[in-house]
Amino acid sequence: MKRLQSEATDRLFDAVLLLKSREECSLFFEDVCTIKEIQDMAQRLEAACLLDRGESYQQISEKTGVSAATISRVSRCLNYGNGGYRTVIDRLREESRKDGKNDNK
């Protein structure tokens, strides 16, 4: 995290934490990022979720269009990173259970 830490990145992260709805999030990210950047982040998160469920690289690539190299990077982050993916995956799973949704898309 230290590599990313600066006043500007702290302000960005604080701004994200102030967003109160999916709509606000969407509007903010569409202003801050390109559509491709948002799609890439969404694909990486989806790859992490599928890796967590035990799906193979080939299955993930077929479902998401993500390259094996990207899946490998996501896997390294999921298994040896800072715990960001793990935190989000666990919380998404918890929210899905609360909402009575099936987390096996």
pLDDT per residue as tens digits for the range 6-17: 999 999 999 999
Domain boundaries, the chain: 1-32, 36-105
Using a cut of 0.75, tell me whether the model's pTM lies above it.
Answer: yes
Q: Is 10 left (phi over 0), alpha (psi -120 to 50) or beta?
A: alpha
**Residues near 48 by Cβ (< 8 Å), separated by ≥ 6?**
74, 77, 78, 85, 88, 89
Chosen CATH of 36-105 out of 1.10.10.10, 3.40.50.300, 3.50.50.60, 1.10.1270.10? 1.10.1270.10
pLDDT per residue as tens digits for the range 28-60: 999 999 999 999 999 999 999 999 999 999 999
